[in-house]
Every structure is written in structure tokens, then in C-alpha cells.
Structure 1
Amino acid sequence: MADVVSEREEPVVAQDRPGWWTWTVRAVAAAGLVVVAWVLLTGWGAVVHGHPLYAVLLALTVVGCGVALWRAARPRTPRAGWRRVLGVVGLVAAVAWVALVAWLRPFTAEQPALDAMTSDDAVTVTESATRIELEPAGGGDATALLFQPGAKVEARAYAAVLRPVAEAGHTVVVVKQPLGIGFLSTGALDAARAARPDVERWVVGGHSLGGVVAATEVDAADSDAVAPAAGLLLYASYPAGDVSGTLTAPVASVSGSQDGLSTPAKVEASRADLPPDATFTVVDGAVHAFFGDYGPQPGDGSPTIPHDDARAQISAATVAFVDEVAG
């Protein structure tokens, strides 16, 4: 009888992990797959046309979730001590990873930006894994615009607002930032210089967080002897610190009166951090998301002007500033 009881109890010794653990792992893995599916269904264009790093993260998420589901289905002996702690740490890290992948979902470009990505007799549009170039059909002059998108905003979203700059004769380069974060593309100006040795001077601009990065790039390169950063263009943005005493290049700030993120008060306060000759243009009725074409943005204000009207004013101010720098 003792042998029978022992035989019956033996499987309990080699039992699987507790049910709650197995189901938690499965839930996190399933959530990861759902997040990837949601990103691909709602932001396919941004994933395909964005910097490849985010697509790599999505692929790694699918692989990791698949492995986790496979392992959760296998019988495993109970873990104790440091191995159990390591498992908990890994599970917490997995939850954070899935949350990060979801948060990094880009704002996808919409019309008329998508139509502006088409080449015609006036502008030739080329696209690579790291940048978009809008080149005047007859070749650009010696002044070009390098543009840093706002956080998580797809680069194509700025094609319509910046295309008039190319139509005016200046090459435009829009940066595809890794993971849509401007601070991960601080070497974009040097890369553009290397790729375009024909450009003698660069206007560096950016939207929101991209403008913060642009200000840093211009402050560091406006006195360079070769292909200097000859102008700073801020779209609903301002520098991270005081550059009023170090920045020698001209500055143009373009903002919206209804912006709920880079509010008028914040833009006004940035005057003290910029050179005294910086120019400020306020588009009455425009919001933060009107500086590109990517749909509404959480936390933004309510517009009191049509997007098309705001875009036209922003483009006009941009062309005027680049023309001024070009001389």
C-alpha cells in the first residue's frame, strides 16, 4: 500500500509551476502579440516607412512572446531561491517591454502628406531607411533644410508642409529617427553633410522634441568652417537651455496660439533662451498637430482655424526664413 501511495504522489513532486505563474506568463505573452498586431493594423505605413529599429523591436517581441508561450506549455519543476527571483524579474521586464513597444507606436502620416511624397516636375522625392529627401527637380541651391520630426511622429507627416521649401529651390532632408525619438538622431546633421557635400549651409529645424534636438545641433555647429548650421527653425518648440549667448545663427520660431503642448506661454518664455534677434511667428488658431499631418495628438488644444490654412501659413514662414538664410 505504501508503494502505491508513493507512486501516486511522485508526480506531485515533479509538478508544473503554480497555475498562477503559468497563466501570468501566458497573459503577458499574449498581450505582447496583441500589441504587435494593433501596431501593425493601425500604423502599418509608419512601421514600413519609418526607421527600421522599431520594426526590429516588433519582430523581437513576436519571437520572445512565441518562446514564452512554448515554454509555458512545457512541464517544469518548481524553482526556488535565486532562480525564482530571476523569473519574477524577467516577467516584470517583459511587461515593461510590451508597454514600451505600445507607447512607441508612431503617429502615422495622413493626407495631404502622403500625396506630397510623390515626385513630379517640380520636386523629386527619394526615401531611404534613415531619411526622406525632397529635391528641387532642377537641383537645389547651396542652402538645404534638415528637419527633425516631433516625438514618435512619422517622417512622411511633414512632406506637405515642407514641400514648398523644395519648390522654392532648397533641398529638404527629413530625418527618420530611431524609435521616433529625436535624441537618438543627434548625429543627423553630420550624416547629412557627408551625404550632401554640395550643400554649403544648413538650416536645421524641428518640431516639438525635434526642435530641441535641432537647437542643440545648431548651437554646436553654427560656427563650423564647412557647411555650417546657418539657421535654426523651431516648430512649436524651444531649446532645452539658454543658448542666447552662444548661438550666432538666425532663429525663427513658428508656433500655434491654440497649442496645448508647446503652449503660447512656454514659447513666449523661450525668448529669454534665444538670441534677441530671433523672430517669432504665431499662427492664430493652430494647434501642435497642425505642424505635420498625422491626426490629433493627446494633450493638444482645440484648433480654431482649418488645418489647410494653418499649413499654408507655416509653409510660408518656413520658405521666407530659408530664403533669408540663403541670401
Structure 2
Amino acid sequence: MKYITSKKRLILLIILAVFTVVAASFAYYISDYYHADSTAVAALKSTEYYSVVDIDNSITFTPTKNKSSTGIIFYPGGKVQPEAYAGIASKLAAKGYTTIIVKMPFNLAFFGVNSADDVIAKHPEINSWIIMGHSLGGVFASEYAVNHQDKIKGVVYLAAYPSTSASNATFKALSIRGSLDNLTTSQDISDNKNKFPVNTIFITISGGNHYNNGNYGLQAGDNNSTITRDQQQNETAGYIVEFLKNL
């Protein structure tokens, strides 16, 4: 009986040790993320073109002029601070589109796939929605759109592609990546092209890379771009606005 008790205690200690290691590893993993730079922080301030409200689980950029009835929900890239996308969001808001960056749990869209539900519920003034996401955020933005085609009119994949097929989806889509992106490569797009919605427009920005979609410094494994971050974001915003006009 004593042997059995000791064995159970040993098993419990092993389970506890494994759990502790896993928990510590996860805590370290989520604490190591890309932070917004000074340019992104500056873009979080309201201007004559848009107002910014940072509250609860989202950052909302609301146009002050020529406001469109179409809104944009943005899912950030994996382990990237949501504020880092204030640059691209501010450019879209300045063009008249309410743009809402979702704050994902642990900075991972995997844990907040359905976050768009809350955004849509809080903005009844928006008549139609598109959802966009960068990198990992694009994967789960696509997943949300596929499962909520009654709510989403279009998807913008920024350096991203669907992990589950969206080929039968009714919404239109726009795929944008930089020619020097070494994290979402042209081969990645090609290998997953059959998963994109049939009505997808594919754009490659010459000289662009992966991390230029946000303002969070350099990203390990990516190539350096031959155009500025601001230039890439301006081109990206231009393509998105054109896409929205033709929905």
C-alpha cells in the first residue's frame, strides 16, 4: 500500500513538473512580442481627418470627413502589438473608412477568431464590413469570414493566405504581399492559391517585405525592403481603397 501511495505521489509530481514547464514556456513565449514603434504611437493621436478611441479590446479609427458606410476590421499579425498597425489604419481612416484594430488575447489571433462579432455588434452604423489581417491575423480573418459570410463582404490578406479553404466563399478578396517578403513567400501563395476565394485579386508590391505592413521594427527571418515602410503602406492602402470601391 505504501509503495502504491509513493508511486501515485511520484506521478503527481511529474505531472506538476511538466505543467509548470509548459506554463512557464508559454508565459515566456507570449511575453516576447513585437512592440509598436514611435511612428505607430504618433498615429494613435486623433487628427483633423480621423479620431482614435482606444478602449477595451479594440482601437477604433473613425473618419471625420467623407465617412463611408463600409467598415474595416483588422486582425494583427502573430505576437505583434496591435498598436503597431496604427499607421496603416490611420491611412485607411483618412480615406473615409472606419478601421478597427482588434486586440487579440496574448497577441495571437488564434485565441480571438470570433472577435469580429463584438466589433460588428458595437457599430450598427456600419452597413457592410470587410475583414483584413496581417500574416497569422490574415489566416484567422479568413476563417472568420468563411464562417460568417452573412456578415463579411470582403477579405484582405496582407502577407497571408487561408489555412482552410475559402474557395467556395461568396465574398471577394484581395491578396497583397511584398516581393521581398521572406516569411510569406511567393511559393506560399502559389501553394495555397486553390484555397483563396475564386474572386481574389493578387497584388505584389515591388521592393516590399513582411514587417513593413506594421510599425514594429525589424522581424527575424524577413528580408530588408528596398522601399520605405511608409511607401509600402501607402501603396497597400491605395490598393485596399480601390478594392473597397469596387465591392
TM-score above 0.5, yes or no: yes
2:224 alignment partner in structure 1: 302
Distance 2:120 2:106 in 1: 22
Distance 1:324 1:157 in 2: 28
Distance 1:268 1:137 in 2: 40
**C-alpha contact 2:91 2:234 (8 A) present in aligned 1:** no
TM-score w.r.t. the length of structure 2 is 0.91
Letter in 1 for 2:146: D
Distance 1:170 1:94 in 2: 46
1:30 alignment partner in structure 2: none
**C-alpha contact 1:255 1:267 (8 A) present in aligned 2:** no
Distance 2:64 2:214 in 1: 23
- Find 1:99's aligned residue among 25, 33, 53: 25
Distance 1:151 1:160 in 2: 17
1:233 alignment partner in structure 2: 156
Higher strand share: 2
Larger mean Cα displacement after TM superposition, 312-321 or 108-117: 312-321
Quickly say closer, same or farther: Cα 1:95–1:122, change in 2 above 3 A: same
| 1:91 CA displacement | 2.4
Letter in 2 for 1:292: G
Q: Structure 1 residue 109 and structure 2 residue 36: aligned?
A: yes
Q: Structure 1 residue 317 and structure 2 residue 239: aligned?
A: yes
Q: Structure 1 residue 142 and structure 2 residue 69: aligned?
A: yes
- Find 2:15's aligned residue among 89, 99, 102: 89
Larger mean Cα displacement after TM superposition, 168-177 or 294-303: 294-303
**C-alpha contact 2:78 2:137 (8 A) present in aligned 1:** yes
Distance 2:22 2:183 in 1: 26
**C-alpha contact 1:252 1:279 (8 A) present in aligned 2:** yes
Larger mean Cα displacement after TM superposition, 185-194 or 167-176: 185-194
1:174 alignment partner in structure 2: 101
TM-score w.r.t. the length of structure 1 is 0.70
Distance 1:197 1:148 in 2: 20
Secondary structure of 1:248's counterpart equals coil
Aligned residue runs from structure 1 range 219-230, under 5 A? 219-222=146-149, 224=150, 228-230=151-153
Quickly say closer, same or farther: Cα 1:196–1:235, change in 2 above 3 A: same
| 1:138 CA displacement | 4.4
Quickly say closer, same or farther: Cα 1:97–1:268, change in 2 above 3 A: same
Letter in 1 for 2:126: V
Letter in 1 for 2:173: V
2:51 alignment partner in structure 1: 124
User: Percent identity between the aligned chains?
Assistant: 28
Quickly say closer, same or farther: Cα 1:274–1:81, change in 2 above 3 A: closer
Higher helix share: 1
Quickly say closer, same or farther: Cα 1:141–1:312, change in 2 above 3 A: closer
Structure 2: 5+ residue runs without aligned partners?
none
- Find 1:247's aligned residue among 169, 183, 187: 169
| 1:214 CA displacement | 1.1
Quick check: which has more Rg, 1 or 2? Answer: 1
**C-alpha contact 2:171 2:199 (8 A) present in aligned 1:** no
Distance 2:173 2:159 in 1: 13
Letter in 2 for 1:91: A
**C-alpha contact 2:213 2:229 (8 A) present in aligned 1:** no
Structure 1: 5+ residue runs without aligned partners?
1-78
| 1:80 CA displacement | 4.2
